[in-house]
Amino acid sequence: MSVAVITGAASGLGRVLASEFVKAGYQVAGLDIQDQAPLHGVTAWKVDLTDSDAVRTTFAEVRAMLGAPTVCVTAAGIYPRSTLVDATVETYRAIFDVNVLGTLLSAQAFADVVDELAQNTLVTVSSVDGISPFSKSVLYSASKAAVINLTSGIAEELAGRAIRVVGIAPGYIATDRVIELNGGRHNLPVDASDPTEIAQACIGLTRGGGISLLTGQTVTLRRSALETPSLSND
């Protein structure tokens, strides 16, 4: 059975990803700094994803316990609101440490433990805000732009280690936290996606090692205006 590592697996998109990868037949290692409620098919590790030694140790433990992972999805992220006026050094460091450094350290550790004879895929999670910045979340937007750049920058290097790298840039995702921040489902944009849709897209991008001609690219995942909205009228 193939092994997938999902970071940020305690809540939000990460938890949905963990659940959906289990349904797709994977053994899942869920990594998060928060305690994780039990989830069938997921082995939980509590780890600070900004601690290099802890991340490397955890990935080594995953390989020893479950086998060499073939998939890693870096879904861990934080998104406190920030503007130029109210941005602080502390907020900057918190956002960039989790969103960018956490992605970097997970990519390094994943590369250390894969079987280079297997078909392996690293999926980084950015956001459409990294492409078109949101004025009320300037630091978050900048961090996700950095993830997009990192994805492109490491693709050639990791190709030499049998790892395809692909990024996803979702639009609004109707996680519990996003629904709370928006004051309910009825306040979500009409193009908001269910997190299960994003998870299924990730599975499609990783199955069998992914799409052979797609590496180093970040794919926007956003509901088309031609599609029927599925969330805002619930």
Tell me the CATH number at 87. Answer: 3.40.50.720
Angle at 155 between CA 154 and CA 160, to 5 degrees: 100
Residue 70 lies in a domain: yes
Residue 228 lies in a domain: no
DSSP lists the bridge partners of residue 30 as 6, 44
Residue 232 lies in a domain: no
Determine the pLDDT at residue 232. Answer: 44
Residue 230 lies in a domain: no
Residue 33 lies in a domain: yes
The whole domain housing 209 covers 3-221
For residue 101, how many other CB atoms are within 10 A of its CB?
18
Residue 201 lies in a domain: yes
Q: Are 49 and 94 in contact (CB under 8 A)?
A: no
Determine the pLDDT at residue 172. Answer: 76
Residue 227 lies in a domain: no
Determine the pLDDT at residue 234. Answer: 45
Determine the pLDDT at residue 224. Answer: 62
In the set 26, 79, 140, 172, the catalytic residue is 140
Determine the pLDDT at residue 23. Answer: 97
Segments of the chain scoring below 70 in pLDDT: 180-182, 187, 209-210, 224-234
- Residue 140 a catalytic site member: yes
Residue corresponding to tokens 């897209």:
201
CB-based contacts of 208: which residues, under 8 Å, 6+ apart? Answer: 119
Residue 130 lies in a domain: yes
Determine the pLDDT at residue 194. Answer: 84
Nearest to 120 by CA among 224, 10, 1, 3: 3
Q: First-to-last CA distance in the chain?
A: 37
**CA distances (Å), origin 145, targets 21, 131, 138, 141:** 26, 6, 11, 6
Determine the pLDDT at residue 173. Answer: 79
Q: Tens digit of pLDDT for each residue in 66-79?
A: 999 999 999 999 98
Determine the pLDDT at residue 205. Answer: 93
Determine the pLDDT at residue 229. Answer: 52
Q: How many domains does the chain have?
A: 1
Any idea what DSSP says for residue 86?
T
